[in-house]
Each structure stands twice: as structure tokens, then as C-alpha cells.
Amino acid sequence: MHNEQELTWFQMNGLVEYWKSELQGMSDDGWVRTEAFEDAIKKNMELMQVLLDGSDTLEEERCVQEQWPFQDHEEEAN
């Protein structure tokens, strides 16, 4: 069981790294180069739509929407 979880974790990390590269080289904290920002937004929506289209249930769609790792967040002012 532990080995299966470790393999799944490894595969998911690889997938997230691939997605980050597809999103114009997004950094670990979510930043992209200014000149790549618009393309990154477009690709982000395309990637999310692929997962939504592949969802078999409304629950899966909800999970994709709520847990999408590349959600846009406003910066907090100090």
C-alpha cells in the first residue's frame, strides 16, 4: 500500500511539474514572466477544461474546480 501511495505521489508531482512547464515556466510560487502572463492564463484554462471534460461525475467536476492547483489569487496588501 505504501509503495502504491509513493508511486502515485511521484506521478502527481511529475504531472504538476509538466503542467507548470506548459504554463510558461510557472515558478513554484505561481509567478510567470510578465510577457508570458496572458498565454499562461489561456493555457491554464485549457488544462482545467481538459480535466473538467474528462470528469465522469458532478463531484469530480467540483473537485477539479475547487482543488485546481493553479487558481488565480489576488496579492494581499501589507
- For the stretch 10-69, pLDDT in tens is 888 888 888 888 888 888 888 888 999 999 999 999 989 998 999 999 999 999 899 888
Please, are residues 28 and 69 in contact by the beta-carbon 8 Å criterion? no
Q: Is 68 helix (H, G, I), strand (E, B) or coil?
A: coil
Please, are residues 59 and 74 in contact by the beta-carbon 8 Å criterion? no
**pLDDT at res. 54:** 93
Residue position matching grid coordinates 513554484: 28
Q: How far apart are CA 53 and CA 55, in angstroms?
A: 6
**pLDDT at res. 75:** 60
**pLDDT at res. 78:** 56
Give the rounded distance of the alpha carbon of 72 from its chain centre: 11
